[in-house]
Amino acid sequence: MDLGYNNISDEGAGNSSLLSLRLSGNKIGRNGGLDFAGMLRVNMTLQELELGECDLEMHGMIGLSTALKNNTTLRSVDVSRALLFSLLEEWAVHFSKMLPVNSSLVELHLGKMGLTDTGMERLSEGLKLNHRLRYLDLRNRVSRDGALHLSKVLKGNSPLEVIDLSSNRIEDPGAEYLSEAICCEGSVLRLSVCRNNISTSGLLSLAGALTNSPTLTHIYIWGNHLEEPVCQAFKELLNTGRLTPEQTDVRPYEVDGHVFLAELFHHLRKHLFFTDVNEQNA
């Protein structure tokens, strides 16, 4: 059931026996978040819950993370753009404690949460002990240090296959940390680093990761500094077939002997694993 953007408030939020419930864009607020946390303690049917842009507050986030410690059916959760007015990032600590004990989540969307490097460090502690999560959405305020913490997670035999780091600020050092981790372990299949202020050295390191990684298939780089060496490298990846146009968001073209990259409107597909699993079951 998709009831997104329907002006539903906390009074309309309640229990459900559905497999999938999407409520993004409704202002359920603190009370609605707590109601859903209570529901998840007893509901054993729901597999997908989308509460992005629902004005969730800290108490609701903590309640949801506590409920997810015991819930064994949810496979995909989206709590993006909660209203969290705290510099301590307590929600990241609670989600970090949830990740090692949750046994069902394969997809977690934490975009637009104001996550910083400090929160990423806390979250990484739980990610290192999680053996289930495959899709992680981290569209936030992470910089090079946060990318370093994430790279350490990837080096620890992480199951993560899809990582969305769009609209952060990891810059060249962050891209290089991730490239090294991807080459070492070879677990990541799809990576988005769009709009991260990455320039030539960082993007070339990612191009090298594509060449050397046995698993990485999709990469999205638009919104960074696409200078000619980068354009040449991605042209070569596309010409050799290491990348196909469907696996990236850029396309090379030439003007007066110089190579440039144009944007293709290919992006990470949301609900990737939840949708795929249910299509296969069907």
5-44: pLDDT as tens digits: 667 665 554 545 689 889 888 888 888 889 889 988 888 8
- CATH of residue 118: 3.80.10.10
Q: Is residue 77 in some structural domain?
A: yes
Q: Is residue 2 in some structural domain?
A: no
Q: Is residue 255 in some structural domain?
A: yes
Q: Is residue 104 in some structural domain?
A: yes
Q: Is residue 95 in some structural domain?
A: yes
Looking at the DSSP assignment, which residues form a beta bridge with residue 109?
A: 78, 137
How many percent of the chain have pLDDT more than 70? 91
Q: Is residue 252 in some structural domain?
A: yes
Q: Is residue 1 in some structural domain?
A: no
Question: For the chain, how many structural domains are there in total?
Answer: 1
pLDDT > 90? residue 85: no
| Relative orientation angle of helices 29-42 and 58-68, to the nearest 10 degrees | 10
Pinpoint the alpha helices (H) of the chain: 29-42, 58-68, 90-98, 117-127, 144-154, 171-185, 200-212, 228-239, 272-281
Give this prediction's pTM: 0.91
245-268: pLDDT as tens digits: 999 999 999 999 999 999 998 888
